[in-house]
Structure 1
Amino acid sequence: MVADICDENGWRLRGARSLAAESLQIHLTGIILPSLCQDDDVFHWVIDGDPMPHYSASRTWEGRATKQSTVSLLVQHSVWFKMATPRHAFLMWIAHNDRMPTRVRLSSWGLGTSTSCCLCDSALETRDHLFLGCEISEQIWKLVLRRLGYTHSAFMTWTSFIEWISLKDSTTPLILKKLVAHATIYNIWAERNKRMHQEISSTPPTIYKLIDHNIRDTILEKKKIKKSFKTLMLSWLRNV
């Protein structure tokens, strides 16, 4: 309950990590503490400015759907597709919305940490640099893209990366492209965390092998429930 996060001394909230969260906390300081109020708790649903007598899933969806652009729908299809690996898709969604706690973001929250990339230590650790522009990430992508049969070895921007995931081509099946992109982002982030928190590092070929294992395991698991996955392993192994 709301009353559980405040006491007679005020609100017990962690530091704000965004302007929206900061604005909310500023607003909360100007209202009566729920822990001191004797009235019963109530809730209000408001969709597109219209007060609702009760929660409506359909109205909520309609309110969100009308605000989505073609680009955002394209992103959703590239992230939340049916056969995606849940933990990979979740991290991919956070990365696309640029909500990963990179060192630059951690520094912006006032944590006083270094802003240098954990992988190369030669540039600011932003999302685009960490996953696409870092020399370590570029080496990983070079191995991955070559495995898929592509001649390019890197991506210049996050937008071009998302467009590549979303578009069908004759080089590799679209679903395999999505699975590999997700696994690559996931393993780059895992490597970053190992270096930052455990001071353990792996080489790009070693990380590439982890991605290979992820894809093989996913295909073997999914082919039991989806017939199209039976030929996906051949596509993944053809350029070994």
Structure 2
Amino acid sequence: MLVGGSLWGKWVQTNLLKRKSFWEVKESSHIGSWIFRKMLKMRSVAKTFYMKAVGNERHTSFWYDKWTELGVMSDLLGDRGVMDLGIRREATVEEALCNNRRRKRHRRVLLNDIEKELEIIKAKQRADVKDVDLWRGNMRFKQKFSTHLTWQLTRAPGAQCTWSRGIWFSQTNPKFAFMAWLALRDRLTTMDRVSNWSQDVDTACVLCKNATETKKHIFFECSFSSRIWETITKGILLNIYSTSWDDIIRLITNQFMEKKKRFALRYAFQTALYMICTERNKRRHGEQPRPLLVLAKLIDKAIKNKLSLVQSKGVRGLEGILQYWFGTRM
């Protein structure tokens, strides 16, 4: 932002930096907005992604820009470096090369290496070529800055989520998808989890009354929910039909399944999960239970309404999906 020609960058340079280098401003400074002060604190990371390719050296700070593979001079030499090299703190690389100071022989090896580097840079100096900003890539520094690549290089990579595409997909219902996401993250308030922080609670499944209420039991080991799942998806899955939670997640994340079948299965899964959760919550709070067949019909109707809407939009690959659904009814 500061090296480009943006209005914000020019304003910062004029009103906040006031001819100083961005790298020179103290981290404890109270100037600027919260976001600007946050940028100051992130400079240690930013330094590893930025350097200068010198041309005429007129716009490259000798002390604060990285213009050599040796590193940033202010970091290498500290405050004493100004006296050791005889180069003022505000100097550009061009000024360091053109002043009349004599080259010294220093006791420190690093100072001698810097003197040699200045001689090399001076020999390569090109008065007609501007200095270029370079940004770190995978293997080397480049002139083009990539937000995506920078993010990939700065973040700590975690394990890849294998089920996300089965939950977040085009044309889904956001509230259904969110409920499914909570289930995949084990964040539903099933009674086995409630019992961990609340003693003496009834952990029995309110749908079947036959087992402890867990996520995997409700979806779809429970005799109540398994019959609904069978009614909704047996015609889609046929010989690969399963009530196992792990098997179902593998099925909805299968990218090689035919598109209409995959969409119908994913949406049926999310709709059934949402409606069964809603029914479970109503029963848990003392409301009148709905019969299994009534709930199954409501789920089927919600799915058909969505498929009809998707078909009317003419979504590519999902043409005739409502007819496909009717063809799977057993």
**TM-score (normalizing by structure 1):** 0.68
Matched, 1:130 2:218: yes
Pick aligned residue for 1:160 from 234, 247, 263 = 247
Percentage of identical aligned residues = 25
Q: Which moved more, 1:216-225 or 1:130-139?
A: 216-225
CA contact (8 A) 2:260 2:318 kept: no
Which has the larger Rg? Answer: 2
Matched, 1:181 2:181: no
Q: Which amino acid aligns with 1:115?
A: T
Q: Which amino acid aligns with 1:166?
A: T
Q: Deviations over 1:48-103 (max 9, x none)?
A: xxx746xx98566776683132xx2x300000012211111000000011110011
CA contact (8 A) 1:141 1:154 kept: no
1:129–1:236: structure 2 CA closer, same or farther, 3 Å change rule?
same
CA contact (8 A) 2:219 2:243 kept: no
Q: Deviations over 1:200-219 (max 9, x none)?
A: 21222222111111111111
* Counterparts of 2:326 and 2:208, CA distance in 1: 30
Pick aligned residue for 2:191 from 103, 108, 113 = 103
* Counterparts of 1:131 and 1:222, CA distance in 2: 26
The structure whose RCO (Cα within 8 Å, separation 6+) is larger is 1
CA contact (8 A) 2:235 2:328 kept: yes
Offset at residue 197 of structure 1 (A): 1.4
Pick aligned residue for 1:202 from 286, 290, 303 = 290
Question: Once superposed, what is the RMSD of the aligned Cα atoms?
Answer: 3.0
Gaps of 5+ in 1: 1-41, 46-50
Q: Which moved more, 1:130-139 or 1:171-180?
A: 171-180
Aligned to 1:18: none
Q: Deviations over 1:105-149 (max 9, x none)?
A: 112122642111111111110100111111111111111122325
1:65–1:233: structure 2 CA closer, same or farther, 3 Å change rule?
farther
Matched, 1:237 2:326: yes
Matched, 1:86 2:168: no
* Counterparts of 1:96 and 1:62, CA distance in 2: 28
Alignment of 1:53-68 (within 5 A): 66-68=157-159
Q: Secondary structure at the match of 2:238?
A: coil
1:64–1:224: structure 2 CA closer, same or farther, 3 Å change rule?
farther
Gaps of 5+ in 2: 1-33, 47-146
Aligned to 1:228: 317
- Would you say how many aligned residue pairs link Structure 1 and Structure 2? 189
CA contact (8 A) 1:149 1:239 kept: no
**TM-score (normalizing by structure 2):** 0.51
